[in-house]
Structure 1
Amino acid sequence: MTQFSEGRASARLTSGAQELRERACGSTSLRIGCVKYLNAKPLIFGWRGDVVFDHPAALCQQLATGQLDVAFVSSFEVLRNPIYTIVDGVAVASVGPVHSVFLAHIEPLEEIEEIAVDAASQTSVHLLRCLLAERNLRPRLVSTDAAAQTGARGAQLIIGDQAIAFRQNNTGKYRFWDLATAWREAAELPFVFAVWLIRPKVADAAGIAEKLRCLRDENLRALDKVIAAQRHFAPEFCAFYFRECLQFDFADAEKAGLLRFRSLCEKHGILPVNPAPLRLA
């Protein structure tokens, strides 16, 4: 894996402020993973080192087995397996509309009997389950892959980049129930979709967390550069998405939102009761 250090590698870089920036925000020998969706780009763009990009479920598995030290994954993973340390201050969250996590449906919600869901993100699946249960609705959730979903005609939970493309290509054909908006209306809090998680016993968790916060800060200050680097969506959409749909903080409101999600998962039998506080670095 490519390694950046303050030794010979840094000597080859430009001096002054740029060198200081790279010392603070550069990569290490960490095995790091990140979801492959557009929403994570402001958090990983410019990382100096190898990154495994994959779907959330695959990254969670690699994190659990020790193939990765750090990963930006679905927030449900730390609720399901609270051994991990969360990087404080950084997340992908939304108060809605988030535009990339929604239920596409034709029938009214109350009449839906079955929903196709993409199991790549357990956070979105369980958020949908909680939101429906709070309305006393319990349709069958049937796992399928993203390709099968986007070719289907029934109700379907779609997430990530494929959700953005699906919505752009199906305006007027479906109703779109934006889950971040539905969450805000129900909980009056932001919903946290993804966070950075660090495995137990990884050395210098605090230093790793600081580098990831630094990278986020740098990218938000130079967001136009991040937008210009995207190739799959128009710059105008990326600007709207990053600036209007998403939040990249994990502050008090976001923490309260994540804990509220945990309590609803406990209420509806998705998770066992766990009063433990979040581990933060």
Structure 2
Amino acid sequence: MKLKSIFMLAVMTLCMMSCSNDENSEDMNYGKEIAKVYNGYTKSTAQYFPDGMYATGEKLEITREGDNKVNIGYVSETFGTFEIKNATVSKNGATYKVEGTGTTIMGMNGTGKSYECSLSAEVSASGSTFRFTVPAVMGGMTVDFIEGDAPANVMVTGSYEGMAKAVAQYFPQGMTSENQTVTVKVADNGKVNISYTSDTWGTFTINDATVTMNGDIYTIEGAGSCLMGMSEESKKEYPCTLKASIDSEKNSPEFVFSVPSVMGGLTITWSPASASASN
């Protein structure tokens, strides 16, 4: 009986050790836990564009290389292919941290060149961010991939090319200007800054404008100033307002600038001569 009890105790101990090892193995299988395709948007910054360039509808893929190792692949239509192999995965609470180095292949007109890049990422159920850093490109470039849908203010950013028609009490028939550019940039707190310079009417600046979305239409509203005058010495600032609507595809945007105190009320309506907006 004593021998049988000792044998059973040994078997139970081995079973417990086996279960413990399995649990530890499962606990350390971080690569498998975060391996999937991530959908999101990107913000890219460099010395040449410190305000950032945005891209939406982006995809990034993590594949398992080992228990604590993963490969990351991301293809940007603007900046090329990013590939990080054997990145290390660790876990702190509910957040996984991923770090590694690899390459990005980018170039113009199909002539790609390979550059060293590094990756630092945080992955969690509440949202994941991936930062690619490429020191040798454009004075140091970073590409941040953010999981999830882009905020409304990111969706409307870009440089819009088109035409503007100015109407006032003195010329109700309107005056048209070609090759006009309206620029929308991301501001803090989900807002945007808008700038427009007209050779005829001066410089319009609208900061911290509000962006709202209704269906597929984004509406921008804000107030700012217009600097105008016949000469540099005579230039003066006038209050102005802006109301704009931009469809999700940016095919038919419209910007309306109003300057009540100029020429009995000046209104400049910008519209695309041909649909075009570049981020």
Q: Which structure carries more helix by proportion?
A: 1
TM-score per shorter chain, which class?
under 0.3
Q: Which structure carries more strand by proportion?
A: 2
TM-score by length of 1: 0.25
Larger-Rg structure: 2
Answer 1 or 2: higher relative contact order, Cα 8 Å, separation at least 6. 1
TM-score by length of 2: 0.25
